[in-house]
Chain A
Amino acid sequence: MAQEKDQNMMTETPQNAPAPARYADPAEPAPSGAPEPEAEQELEVPQNARAVIARLWRESRGEHWRFAVVLVCVACYTVAQISAPAYSAHLIDLLWGNIQAAHARGELFTIGWETGGRELLTFVGIWTVAWAFYTVQSFTMASFAERLNLKLRHRIGEKLNRLPLKYYDAHKPGDVMSRATNDLDKVSEVLQRGLLSMLMAVGSVTGAAIMMVRLNLTLSLVFLCFAVIAVTGTRLVAKRTLVLAAEQQRAVGILNGHVEEAYSGRIVIKAFNQEEASSARIHEATQQLADTMRRTDFVTNVVAPMVRCLVRLSQVVLALMGTSILMAGGLTIGTLQAFFQYVNTASEPLTQFSLTINQLQSALAAVERVFGVLDEPEIEPDPEVPVHVAEPVSGRVAFEHVRFGYDADRPLMTDVNFVAEPGQKVAIVGATGAGKTTLINLLMRFYEIDGGRITLDGVDTHAMTRSELRSHFGMVLQDAWLREGTIAENIAYGCPGATRDEVMQAAKTAQVDFFVRTMPKGYDTLLENDAENISQGQRQLLTIARVLLANPAILILDEATSSVDTRTERSIVQAMEALTQGRTSFVIAHRLSTIVDADLILVMDHGNIIEQGTHDELLAQGGAYAELYNSQFA
């Protein structure tokens, strides 16, 4: 900001002058993908600062010219800015001389062109030059950081499509999101302001130091002593703020935890009459946070004023010494005042220096995290010469000695074998964690198998492109994901070219047509905010309609457990029955009627299929399935 102009400034200003991007965080992040609650001073240190800087430099290829322009401008600006006080010294001395001469003649003095007017104009000129360079540099930098960010965001966007499902399953959505939003915002904020003021600070300090020495060596040395004390002091405090910030982060974490827990469990709190205890628990956490925050805030806020106070004390000494030298004739009024201006020019950046370093470090840590995402291992590319399945796909799916583990050292599936003949209905049963979802993950190649093979119509799915493979499957999951957009767009997600009639036909078959018609804008109703405005059951029906329209050869269905009411469930079952006609279907089954009617039941336990067959076969076997089934009527 304009504080670079502020050569004669000794003001108490807060350190963390806000940058716009920072305060433009979403006002209300949605609970699921919410970024971490913003911490005011998130101070972290990058693992390998040099490598991050080098890479950032490479990433900003194409924008380097901006950097060059900025460097030149900063240099020129600094020269102009540093020469201004010197010229003003000259100007004051000139005016003072003229005034004294005029007064000696017994006249009043007024500035004319010859008696200072020309010099005043030159002075305006110097500042205008400084201003011009400052302006060029500001505008050049205005788009530098955002362009770089856009580039990195684009890379993250691409990366999202190449990250294996493993990554998504292991990270909270909020984590990935905050890489692309908060972390990069922090970077742009620092590049935009921090880097610029850093460059200018270096220029100002160097220039001011040279000028001070030229004006008066003794006074310069006195100032140097104070400057060293100030810098050492701030460096120490800056380190301390890192510790405090970490402490505060912990307190924030604890409070977050308590609050989330309490809100989510409020029914329990009330039902068990524990309001007071819970309130006490929260109050304790807020108190703790307030205590650490007070310390952190105080320390961060007090550094700059204290350094300025030190500078002012140095000014007292300098003023006394300077005035003595002035009286002895060793300095003119102008030069003494110019010296003071340089003191201010040099000391303001020193005040900010340590904290700016903290900010830069924290920004580098943020970039490092972004690079961390970009460097995550990717899914293996599709085969160069993919094998195609002959159309029309009949839908025979076979698992042959499939081995798989989410962790390389902890195999889950050791030897899975089964064949789903075209048109068969395969029910997958088993306890939570038995591997039902894993089976689906492998089928869709969300995860790659470690051994054996999976075939579709006899073709190894690994030899196909993922997109071709997946185009033959339709999925209806419990987590009914819908996209922001109209209902029609969502139904036509799999085939964007579908006509309105086709969309409506699919909706009718999925028994959701009536519901859609009750919405204010029918099929053009906008679904926003994770489609909060419609119930889970209707959402699931919409996802069924979506699959219906896509008309895949094979279906994967995760039966709803409790989120859908019986009536809707019956609608779903009916829709499914129509849909499964002539299609191979895999159903993660919770409903007994589904299981009993299946052509093939896969009973899973600890990742493996322990029994398979039809309902009657399995009952006759008297194994795990029979036990499970019979316990129903105990």
Chain B
Amino acid sequence: MKTLLRFLRPYKLQTFGVLIALAVNLAGVLLVPTILANMINIGVSSRDFGFILNQGGYMLVAAVVSGAGAFACSYFCADLVTKVGRDIRNAVYDASLAFSGGDFERFGTGSMITRTLNDVNVIQMAISITIQMILPVPFAMVIGIALAWSVDYQMGMMLLSFVAVVALIAVASVKSAARIFQRLQRFIDRMNVRLRESITGVRVIRAFGKEKTEQESLDEAFSEYATNAIRVNWIFATFDCSAFFIMNIAEVAILWLGGNRVGAYAMEIASISACVEYAMMILFFIMMAQIGALMLPRALVCIERCREVIEHAPSIADGPETALATAADAPAAPAPAGDVVAHFGNASFRFADADEDTLHHLNFLCRRGTTTAIIGPTGSGKSTIAKMLLRFHDVTDGTVELCGTDVRELTQHALREHISYVPQKAWLFSGTIADNLRYGAEDATDEELWHAIDVAQSGFVRELPEGLGHRVAQGGTNFSGGQRQRLSIARALVKKADLYIFDDSFSALDFKTDAALRHALAEEVRDAAVLIIAQRINTILNADQIVVLKDGCIQGLGTHEELMRTCEAYREIARSQLRAEELEALMDDANAKGGA
């Protein structure tokens, strides 16, 4: 609720506009029957046509004013709702940008998308419903009862009691209906789960010949839903019909009381109908509000879900430094080869909800002009190493330094200026190829782009009719996995950096392309440090140093040959990927070199 108020605050104008317009509108609406009653009363008693004309004028004004009120209300409502919706969406998205990897994974991509889009839709609809279906109730009640009171106090009291009774019933029914809705929701979820399973699992289901069982379980979910939906409909019909009945009673009661009061000179004949109308209108608004109110619990959940994102404090905060200590002196000067670019000093990492460290006391250096490779099983934490350098995750113990500065001392922006990264999942953005390649270096020339394309073995770009201007679909889905990966490598190469990180970036490439790319790459990144995270041993055979990671610990550190001799974990990987003869050849090779 507080969150919602926060988003409403900037729109005081619209909020007051809505309230005033509603009041004006309802006053006008209720005045029309009042004036009509006056006209008839006078028409019957005094036959003063001048007075009637006069009243006709008032009625016209009331009708026009109330119309204008409705018009303004619709406008303010639409304006307010869409602006609030936009602001919440922006807030959710902007909040997500500051999230660390762990923060984001806590929510999950699917859930974040839902929060940004669907949840906000629900919130918008709820505000709209509140304004149009629920807010009129208090206005109508106050104005209607006041008008009835002005006709006759007994009338006013009777109306008040009717309204009170109906309002109580409405509140009670909304409460019970909300419960039933929650239950219905469970059946809907089940139906969705079953459906999704039968669709995504169609191959397995058919392979096992389980079509019948799946269909039965689908049918069961469908029937359960139908039974409960019908039950909900019945409950609604019950409420609906009882409200109908109460309206009848109210109308007759007003006629009866009205007759007596007119007979007692307390009010005039035509006002009876006016009172009937006030009653009907209030009851009607309560009915509407009752339907609208059912929508609100769900919207509250959605607001809460958006709030979680907006108010989530990012677990990684910027450091104070905006530039590297070394880079500040001579940013353009070519740094000497061999200096340390990245340094892991006894670095450990543990996920927030884990009992055990994912990475244990890592110690290694990446030097300029050399290639460091990390190999190990998937669960071993290889990607986490890259993410620690980029500060998608922070070390929980020890340090990670870039060119001698602790990465946590830097702003994230400054840190990432110096690193060029090829993520495991090659992701491109909609736009042109050129847009994508310039992602890390806005002012790169076309030649530079073509050069990066060649290095990344993305010759296919040259065959595209529009070349660099070729459209890239969302996520790059109009390219194959391998093409995406190569473009993503090219994109990283366009950005000049001190450290290039390739996170399992060669896996979608065939062996041939992989090899050619590595050759070209070696030339390209001579002045920087390179960190390659790999699955395939062939990819890293020639690295200057290989870090063998297993269960988050460094099992071996050295060149391929050294590791073949000394590191059992490394040999195990080699054995699983290579055939015996090749292995033998490599072993011999290693021994020979080692011996030489």
Instruction: Tell whether A82 is near chain B: CB-to-CB under 8 Å.
Output: no
Q: Which of A11, A176, A566 contacts B284 (CB 8 A)?
A: A11
Q: Are B577 and A13 in contact (CB under 8 A)?
A: no
Instruction: Tell whether B171 is near chain A: CB-to-CB under 8 Å.
Output: no
A40-B71 CB under 8 A given contacts A31-B113, A473-B207: no
Quick one: closest B residue to A593, CB to CB?
B579
Q: In A102-127, which residues have CB < 8 Å from any B CB?
A: 102-103, 108-111, 116, 120, 123-124, 127
Distance in angstroms from B425 CB to nearest chain A CB is: 8
Q: Which of B33, B86, B504 contacts A290 (CB 8 A)?
A: B86
Instruction: Tell whether B168 is near chain A: CB-to-CB under 8 Å.
Output: no
Instruction: Tell whether A297 is near chain B: CB-to-CB under 8 Å.
Output: yes
Instruction: Tell whether B32 is near chain A: CB-to-CB under 8 Å.
Output: yes
In the bound complex, residues from chain A placing their C-beta under 8 Å from that of B89 are: 255, 282, 286
In the bound complex, residues from chain B placing their C-beta under 8 Å from that of A222 are: none
Interface centre among A25, A319, A537, by most chain B C-beta atoms within 10 angstroms, is A319
Q: Are B262 and A433 in contact (CB under 8 A)?
A: no
Q: In A87-108, which residues have CB < 8 Å from any B CB?
A: 88, 91-92, 95-96, 98-99, 102-103, 108
A467-B199 CB under 8 A given contacts A319-B39, A320-B52, A327-B43: no
Q: In A176-190, which residues have CB < 8 Å from any B CB?
A: 176-177, 180-181, 188
Q: Which of B64, B109, B430 contacts A257 (CB 8 A)?
A: B430
Interface string of B388-399 (1 = CB under 8 A from A): 001010000000
Question: Which one of A66-74, A138-146, A454-462 is at the interface?
Answer: A138-146
Q: In B266-308, which residues have CB < 8 Å from any A CB?
A: 269-270, 272-273, 276-277, 280-281, 283-285, 287-288, 291-292, 294-295, 298, 301-302
In the bound complex, residues from chain A placing their C-beta under 8 Å from that of B94 are: 279
In the bound complex, residues from chain B placing their C-beta under 8 Å from that of A308 are: 67, 70
Question: Which one of B145-153, B238-246, B338-346, B555-563 is at the interface?
Answer: B238-246
In the bound complex, residues from chain B placing their C-beta under 8 Å from that of A326 are: 40, 43-44
Q: Which of B90, B108, B110, B512 contacts A628 (CB 8 A)?
A: B512
In the bound complex, residues from chain B placing their C-beta under 8 Å from that of A103 are: 263, 265
Question: Which one of A2-10, A228-236, A393-401 is at the interface?
Answer: A2-10
In the bound complex, residues from chain A placing their C-beta under 8 Å from that of B44 are: 326, 333
If over half of A's interface residues share one DSSP class (helix, strand or loop), that class is named, otherwise mixed; here it is: helix
Distance in angstroms from B391 CB to nearest chain A CB is: 9
Q: Are B32 and A157 in contact (CB under 8 A)?
A: no
Q: Are A271 and B390 in contact (CB under 8 A)?
A: yes
Distance in angstroms from B247 CB to nearest chain A CB is: 5
In the bound complex, residues from chain B placing their C-beta under 8 Å from that of A65 are: none
Q: Are B259 and A99 in contact (CB under 8 A)?
A: yes
Q: In A323-365, which residues have CB < 8 Å from any B CB?
A: 323-324, 326-327, 333, 336-337, 340
In the bound complex, residues from chain A placing their C-beta under 8 Å from that of B295 are: 18, 23
Interface centre among A286, A470, A634, by most chain B C-beta atoms within 10 angstroms, is A286
Instruction: Tell whether A287 is near chain B: CB-to-CB under 8 Å.
Output: yes
Q: In A554-569, which residues have CB < 8 Å from any B CB?
A: 561-569
Instruction: Tell whether B348 is near chain A: CB-to-CB under 8 Å.
Output: no
Q: Are B199 and A432 in contact (CB under 8 A)?
A: no
Instruction: Tell whether A522 is near chain B: CB-to-CB under 8 Å.
Output: no
Q: Are A279 and B93 in contact (CB under 8 A)?
A: yes
Query: In the complex, A28 Cα to B306 Cα: how many Å?
Result: 13
Query: In the complex, A593 Cα to B536 Cα: how many Å?
Result: 13
A116-B265 CB under 8 A given contacts A11-B285, A481-B200: no
Q: Are A432 and B482 in contact (CB under 8 A)?
A: yes
Instruction: Tell whether A486 is near chain B: CB-to-CB under 8 Å.
Output: no
Q: Are A139 and B234 in contact (CB under 8 A)?
A: yes
A108-B255 CB under 8 A given contacts A142-B234, A326-B44, A333-B40: no
Q: Are A24 and B390 in contact (CB under 8 A)?
A: no
Query: In the complex, A88 Cα to B270 Cα: how many Å?
Result: 12
Q: Are B71 and A306 in contact (CB under 8 A)?
A: yes
Instruction: Tell whether B565 is near chain A: CB-to-CB under 8 Å.
Output: no
Interface centre among A26, A263, A275, by most chain B C-beta atoms within 10 angstroms, is A263
Query: In the complex, A543 Cα to B247 Cα: how many Å?
Result: 62
Question: Which one of B354-362, B364-372, B376-384, B445-453 is at the interface?
Answer: B376-384
Q: Are A108 and B264 in contact (CB under 8 A)?
A: yes
Q: Are B200 and A301 in contact (CB under 8 A)?
A: no
Instruction: Tell whether A173 is near chain B: CB-to-CB under 8 Å.
Output: yes
Query: In the complex, A236 Cα to B12 Cα: how many Å?
Result: 34
In the bound complex, residues from chain B placing their C-beta under 8 Å from that of A452 are: none
In the bound complex, residues from chain A placing their C-beta under 8 Å from that of B3 are: none
Q: Are B93 and A309 in contact (CB under 8 A)?
A: no
Question: Which one of B155-163, B209-217, B322-330, B454-462 is at the interface?
Answer: B209-217
Q: Are A27 and B298 in contact (CB under 8 A)?
A: yes
Q: Are B226 and A146 in contact (CB under 8 A)?
A: yes
Quick one: closest B residue to A39, CB to CB?
B121
In the bound complex, residues from chain A placing their C-beta under 8 Å from that of B244 are: 2, 5, 131, 134-135
Query: In the complex, A278 Cα to B427 Cα: how many Å?
Result: 14
Instruction: Tell whether A372 is near chain B: CB-to-CB under 8 Å.
Output: no
Instruction: Tell whether B401 is near chain A: CB-to-CB under 8 Å.
Output: no
Question: Which one of B402-410, B415-423, B463-471, B523-531 is at the interface?
Answer: B415-423
Instruction: Tell whether B310 is near chain A: CB-to-CB under 8 Å.
Output: no
In the bound complex, residues from chain A placing their C-beta under 8 Å from that of B202 are: 160, 165, 168
Instruction: Tell whether B229 is near chain A: CB-to-CB under 8 Å.
Output: yes
Interface string of B57-79 (1 = CB under 8 A from A): 00110011011001101110111
Instruction: Tell whether B313 is near chain A: CB-to-CB under 8 Å.
Output: no
A109-B421 CB under 8 A given contacts A37-B121, A127-B248, A128-B248: no
In the bound complex, residues from chain B placing their C-beta under 8 Å from that of A563 are: 378
Q: Which of A33, A99, A120, A256 contacts B117 (CB 8 A)?
A: A256
A270-B181 CB under 8 A given contacts A257-B430, A301-B74, A537-B378: no
Instruction: Tell whether A581 is near chain B: CB-to-CB under 8 Å.
Output: no
A301-B77 CB under 8 A given contacts A12-B136, A481-B204: yes
Quick one: closest A residue to B581, CB to CB?
A596
Instruction: Tell whether B486 is near chain A: CB-to-CB under 8 Å.
Output: no
In the bound complex, residues from chain B placing their C-beta under 8 Å from that of A628 are: 510-512
A33-B192 CB under 8 A given contacts A5-B247, A259-B113, A483-B201: yes
Question: Which one of A210-218, A310-318, A411-419, A602-610 is at the interface?
Answer: A310-318
Quick one: closest B residue to A137, CB to CB?
B237
In the bound complex, residues from chain B placing their C-beta under 8 Å from that of A39 are: 121
Q: In A236-277, which residues have CB < 8 Å from any B CB?
A: 252, 255-257, 259-275
Beyond A123-B252, A139-B237, 5 additional contacts (C-beta under 8 Å) are: A108-B265, A268-B423, A319-B56, A530-B200, A535-B379
* The 7 residue pairs across chains A and B that have the minimum distance between CB atoms: A31-B110, A109-B263, A309-B67, A565-B377, A305-B70, A565-B378, A297-B78
Name 11 interchain pairs, CB-CB below 8 A, sorted by A: A17-B292, A31-B110, A32-B110, A33-B192, A34-B110, A255-B89, A270-B412, A272-B421, A293-B81, A319-B36, A566-B377
